[in-house]
Amino acid sequence: MPMYDYQCASCGHQLEAIQKISAPALVDCPACQAPELKKMLSMPGFRLSGTGWYETDFKTGSKKNLAGGDKAD
């Protein structure tokens, strides 16, 4: 899920929020309760959840250890 940076125009409080892309933007500041939160322009960020993908997931035989380099058998 993407992470978004917000800053309150009223008190200057900054926060990060993990939200679905389809979720509406946050409006109310958790620090001062004013409806002044604005999304900040920032680097894209996301969090991967689950067990993940690994180099060995779909490889068989001698192709499994690609990160190990060229080892002599």
- Tell me if 26 sits within 8 A of 37, measured CB to CB: yes
Q: According to CATH, what is the number of the domain 1-41? A: 2.20.28
- pLDDT, tens digit (0-9, with 9 covering 90-100), for 17-52: 988 889 999 999 999 999 999 999 877 666 666 666
pLDDT confidence band for 1 (50 / 70 / 90)? confident
d(CA 67, CA 56): 10
pTM: 0.58
